[in-house]
Amino acid sequence: MAVKRKQQGKRPAGLQPRLAAPAIIFFCLALLAGAVLFFINRDYPEQTYSYSHMAMDTVIELRLQAGSRREAEAVKDEVFAEMERLEALLSRSLEDSDVNRVNAAAGKEAVTVSPETMSLAGAALEYAALSEGAFDPTIAPLLDCWGFLDQRYRVPGPEEIEAVLPLVNFRLLELDRERQTIYLPEAGMSLDLGGIAKGFIVDRGLAVLSRAGIRHAFLNAGGDIGLLGTRPDGEPWRIGVRHPRVENSLMAVLPLNGGAVVTSGDYERTFELKGVRYHHILDPATGKPAAQLASVTIIAPTAMEADALSTAVFVLGPSRGLALVEQLPGIEAVLVTPEMEVLVSSGLKDIIEHQQ
């Protein structure tokens, strides 16, 4: 110890500043590098993160622009959790859902439901009225006749269809907004929000993203697409309208900034018996699959509107369907007929890019 002290003590005084200068410069440079890195990270953060998730009987695809992987993961978890929470309320195939509880009490009593179920059932009734019953949230008994609930597909006879048709009538559905209850007054009636729920859930997913400060996102739940802002590079998103008969082929491309795009197609959930193909969008007027169109794509401010209208217009057919779309501000449509002819609403004529 003594020796050391002696050596330190012997160090010429002039050496001290020469040693200190590089240390100070090094320290300053490190500080500068830290500051630069900090600002680079703050001002130049955006990167696209992509996720997929199974829910609502389909693959949900989410692309979002975020500052870091950690931020993206946290938001994505919140989005998928919110979507699953709503599915658990609105699905007819999940046992404890609000919809199932309402159905189990048909003809017996009104059932208290969550605010989300109440508001979606209310919206469904509005679309039912708007489409004069082409869209009908009480379609379920008819879907069950065709085996769409348990996937034991069959073609019901005319008497069977006749017997259930009186149970398909949205005008009978009783919503009590004050008590927050839903009542199906006839035994055998049953609620199915399948034609509108996916869109509603996509909107709620986008709301989570938006609240988290995300400005660019793409959320696709099996053909129900919600868009947040433009594409990250500021260009419009390019959304394809698929060919109803040829896999991986497009009929058209739609350049869009925000909003929603939803397609209902006769190729989505189908079964074939004796060479005839049947699908899951039923016409409440005939009790059979609607056959006037092969697909309907609706563009709307929200995915809920687009979802309900895609099903409604599919059932209404080309002339009544397009007439309805033309009458609604902010709504546009691309219809594909069974002959693969493409019909376009007036507001889209100048922006649609035909591919066929």
- 203 makes contact, choosing from ligand ADP, Mg ion, none, with CB < 5 to 8 Å by partner type, with none
Q: Which is nearer to ligand ADP, 195 or 352 (CB)?
A: 195
- 139 makes contact, choosing from Mg ion, ligand ADP, none, with CB < 5 to 8 Å by partner type, with ligand ADP
Q: Which is nearer to Mg ion, 98 or 307 (CB)?
A: 307
Q: What are phi and psi of 231, to 5 degrees?
A: -65, 155
* Nearest-approach distance from CB 116 to Mg ion, in angstroms: 18
Q: Which is nearer to ligand ADP, 16 or 286 (CB)?
A: 286
- 305 makes contact, choosing from Mg ion, ligand ADP, none, with CB < 5 to 8 Å by partner type, with none
* Contact footprint for ligand ADP (CB under 6 A): 135-137, 139, 143, 192, 194-195, 198, 223-224, 264, 268-269, 280-282, 284, 307, 310-311, 315
Residue 117: alpha-carbon gap to chain centroid: 16
* Nearest-approach distance from CB 199 to ligand ADP, in angstroms: 7
Q: Which is nearer to ligand ADP, 72 or 307 (CB)?
A: 307
* Nearest-approach distance from CB 38 to ligand ADP, in angstroms: 46
* Nearest-approach distance from CB 291 to ligand ADP, in angstroms: 13
Give 49-53's long-range contacts (Cβ < 8 A, gap of 24+): 49/73, 49/76, 51/76, 51/80, 53/80, 53/83
Number of residue whose CB is nearest ligand ADP: 194
* Nearest-approach distance from CB 69 to ligand ADP, in angstroms: 31
* Nearest-approach distance from CB 260 to Mg ion, in angstroms: 11
Closest CA to 103 of 75, 142, 64, 138: 138
* Contact footprint for Mg ion (CB under 5 A): 195, 307, 310-311
The CA–CA distances, whole Å, from 11 to 3, 6, 14, 19 equal 13, 9, 9, 12
Q: How far apart are CA 343 and CA 319, in angstroms?
A: 10
- 194 makes contact, choosing from ligand ADP, Mg ion, none, with CB < 5 to 8 Å by partner type, with ligand ADP
